[in-house]
Amino acid sequence: MNNRVWIFDTTLRDGEQSPGCSMNVPEKLRMAAKLVELGVDILEAGFPIASEGDFQAVDAVSREFPWVQVAALARSMKLDVERAARSLEKAKRPRIHTFLATSDIHLKYKLKKSRQEVLDAAVSAVELARTYVDDVEFSAEDGARTDPDYLEQVSKAVVAAGARTVNIPDTVGYSTPDEYGELIGRICKALGDTAVVSVHCHDDLGLAVANSLAAVKAGARQIECTVNGIGERAGNCSLEEIVMVMKTRHDRYPYTTGIHTEYLFPASQLLSSIISFGPQPNKAIVGKNAFAHEAGIHQDGFLKEPTTYEIINPKSVGVPESRLVLGKHSGRHALKNRCEDLGYHLSPAELDLVYQQVTELADNKKGLMDEEIAAMARRSQEQAAPQPVGD
Ligand code: MN
């Protein structure tokens, strides 16, 4: 079986439609350039019927990056599909991504439609989309909570109508790895090699990455994800996390992507500077503390051999260097190194003096700035310097 997994980035669509994440067209273009550099396979640039800005964003990304596979979202409705098709006119490899909810709860309360009506609408939308483009993806919204028999029926019908990718989203982040893997395995078996099975997981229970991995093991070959895991509510599967799991634990997950991982951190930084928030400090891979060490035992081990406490070389994800945070948990070894980095080669007596001050000061602080450490090192050398002796 082919082990190449397609990375479908939806930072500019699902990510962008969440609170605090709106992006205008120039901002989406800047982010798109980073995503292209990162090597995403499919770039979902917007939901053209939703707003003029979304239409323009898809159009602008299609013009600016004509060789990239650009996707536009559309409900399974004539006007949506036509609008998506128009926004993609300049793309060389356009994809129309049409969706319709298939779970009973959505059918009953949101759509007020029968299963047959939904099936017919999905098939019509895919057929219409195929009159504009060759590459059509169908998403069965709330797929994880859909009756598997019906989901299989819809999946087969949209593929017969011309869809090349069938996405089974866990729209509300409710599924678990074993349950989701089972469902995806069943759909993969039903479709065989007639279509790529895709996954789109939300993180409401913190399982988006785990669920996506379970799906890949079960045969899915496209993962929909976002930089920094932004997206509706608790967000989507985090691009940097899923990619680094498959790279770092290739022994357990022998799959490859086209992502140039050294651009992960720069992409995360750019996104943070465009939207209104960055990842939390302890966020895996791209958080401020992801490669920071404060505890003395950890710092000592790290300085002797980085792999004692680091499973990923920070440079491989574009983080400039590991950060040893000097605080109350630090030891002499890390302090001596930092002072040397700052240009102070301290004698054992001088180091003792600085170490004493650091532990006293750091007790009341959350970590020390380089300038504070430099000042202490300077003072220690002044104090320890031999005093002029009078006669
Ligand atoms: Mn979503």
**Residue 300 binned pLDDT confidence (cut-offs 50, 70, 90):** confident
Instruction: Pick the closest to residue 12 from 284, 260, 35, 263 (CA basis).
Output: 35
Distance between Cα 141 and ligand 1 center (Å):
9
The mean pLDDT value for 359-380 works out to 81
pLDDT at 248 over 70: yes
More confident of the two residues 332 and 127: 127
Mean pLDDT of the chain: 93
Least-confidence region, from 72-81, 267-276, 295-304: 295-304
Distance between Cα 252 and ligand 1 center (Å):
27
CA 254 to each of CA 73, 179, 207, 245, 257: distance values in angstroms, whole numbers, following the listed order? 31, 21, 20, 10, 10
> Rounded to the nearest 10 degrees, how much is the dihedral formed by the CA atoms of 249, 265, 257, 202?
80
Distance between Cα 319 and ligand 1 center (Å):
28
Distance between Cα 172 and ligand 1 center (Å):
8
> Which pLDDT value is given to residue 365?
74
pLDDT at 126 over 80: yes
Distance between Cα 138 and ligand 1 center (Å):
13
Distance between Cα 47 and ligand 1 center (Å):
12
> Which pLDDT value is given to residue 371?
78
Length of the chain: 391
> Which pLDDT value is given to residue 387?
54
pLDDT at 388 over 60: no
Instruction: Pick the closest to residue 211 from 229, 194, 228, 196 (CA basis).
Output: 229
> Which pLDDT value is given to residue 78?
98
Distance between Cα 57 and ligand 1 center (Å):
19
Distance between Cα 92 and ligand 1 center (Å):
26
Dump pLDDT digits (tens) for 138-192.
Answer: 999 999 999 999 999 999 999 999 999 999 999 999 999 999 999 999 999 999 9
pLDDT at 119 over 80: yes
**Residue 370 binned pLDDT confidence (cut-offs 50, 70, 90):** confident
Using an 8 Å Cβ cutoff, are 43 and 35 in contact? yes
**Residue 117 binned pLDDT confidence (cut-offs 50, 70, 90):** very high
Q: What is the DSSP letter of 1?
A: -
pLDDT at 389 over 60: no
Distance between Cα 260 and ligand 1 center (Å):
24
Distance between Cα 133 and ligand 1 center (Å):
23
Sequence spans of domains, the chain? 6-274, 292-384
Domain 292-384 fold is Recoverin; domain 1 (1.10.238)
Distance between Cα 200 and ligand 1 center (Å):
7
Distance between Cα 4 and ligand 1 center (Å):
23
Distance between Cα 289 and ligand 1 center (Å):
28
Dump pLDDT digits (tens) for 195-235.
Answer: 999 999 999 999 999 999 999 999 999 999 999 999 999 99
Distance between Cα 300 and ligand 1 center (Å):
43
The mean pLDDT value for 61-81 works out to 97
Distance between Cα 17 and ligand 1 center (Å):
9
> Which pLDDT value is given to residue 378?
85
Instruction: Pick the closest to residue 167 from 224, 226, 103, 232 (CA basis).
Output: 224
Distance between Cα 249 and ligand 1 center (Å):
26
- pTM score of the predicted model: 0.88
Which amino acid is it at 237?
Answer: C
> Which pLDDT value is given to residue 274?
93
pLDDT at 34 over 60: yes
- CA angle, residues 350, 353, 356, in degrees to nearest 5: 150
Distance between Cα 269 and ligand 1 center (Å):
22
**Residue 115 binned pLDDT confidence (cut-offs 50, 70, 90):** very high
CA 34 and chain centroid, separation: 13
Q: How many CB atoms lie within 10 A of CB 292?
A: 17
Distance between Cα 383 and ligand 1 center (Å):
62
Instruction: Pick the closest to residue 282 from 274, 290, 272, 270 (CA basis).
Output: 290
Q: What percent of the chain has pLDDT over 70?
A: 97
Distance between Cα 158 and ligand 1 center (Å):
20
**Residue 254 binned pLDDT confidence (cut-offs 50, 70, 90):** very high
What is the C-alpha to C-alpha distance for residues 253 and 304, in angstroms, rounded to an integer? 30
Distance between Cα 378 and ligand 1 center (Å):
55
Distance between Cα 99 and ligand 1 center (Å):
11
Decide yes or no: CATH 1.10.230.10 for domain 6-274. Answer: no
Which amino acid is it at 52?
Answer: E
Dump pLDDT digits (tens) for 312-368.
Answer: 999 999 987 667 777 778 888 888 988 888 788 899 999 999 998 888 887 777 777
